[in-house]
Chain A
Amino acid sequence: AIQLTQSPSSLSASVGDRVTITCRASQGISSALAWYQQKPGEAPKLLIYDASSLDSGVPSRFRGSGSGTDFTLTISSLQPEDFATYYCQQFNYYPPLYTFGQGTKLEIK
């Protein structure tokens, strides 16, 4: 089964900082990767799909890149509302077996 490993598991940053979260797949998944944001007590929210496409309404400070096994989510200038947990997810295989990374908790420094 495909495993997704996110790094770091947690991250402290300040408003205005640029941050990067990495997601590594145990096998190549082409560009079949999504990124989600989840705030406490809320459902996950789709940010990025197909590795680099911004979902509707998502601010342009969020950027996804990568293909194959290595992917990144970059937030160019952190805003207060960006402090949350971020998950990557792969959806490459059929029958579908959607795998999530373990999450990266982004906290205020």
Chain B
Amino acid sequence: EVQLVESGGDLVQPGGSLRVSCAGSGFSFRSYWMSWVRQAPGKGLEWVASIKQDGSDKFFVDSVKGRFSISRDNVKMSVYLQMNNLRDDDTAVYYCARGMSGSSPNDAFDMWGQGTMVTVSS
């Protein structure tokens, strides 16, 4: 089955760290840009980070630069989001998403996981 499955969401204290994972299956994972998008409770969608097929290019929204990192393992068909120095406003459902064409980062997201909840609270 062609799908993305996130895991690793948890309750974390402010200032803490967490790594969330996304496993792909049923498609050529190594051929696609992968991204993370988050959604705070009751709010809209916010792009967080993206990584190129071979991991050589990575991009982040300004609000997470210096705190979050993105990586991937194409053998395990997985993408990861390492989140450090977490803040209350990082509380959200984190979705991984696939760039549509694979040839450019300038793409719609044609496949999404079900999301994993990250709660930052003391």
Q: Which A residues form the contact surface with B (CB < 8 A)?
A: 32, 34, 36, 38, 42-46, 49-50, 55, 87, 89, 91-103
Q: How far is the CB of A56 from chain B (nearest CB, A)?
A: 8
Contacts of B46 in A (CB 8 A): 100
A93's nearest neighbour on chain B, judged by CB, is: B106
Interface of A (DSSP majority class) = loop
Whole-angstrom distance between the Cβ of A52 and the nearest chain B Cβ: 12
Shortest CB–CB separation between residue B18 and chain A, in angstroms? 20
Query: Residue B108 contacts which of A34, A42, A103 (CB distance < 8 angstroms)?
Result: A34
The number of inter-chain residue pairs (CB within 8 angstroms) is 65
Tier of interface size on chain B = 20 to 34
A87 touches B45 (CB 8 A): yes
B107 CB contacts on chain A under 8 angstroms:
49, 91
Q: Is the CB of B108 within 8 A of A44?
A: no
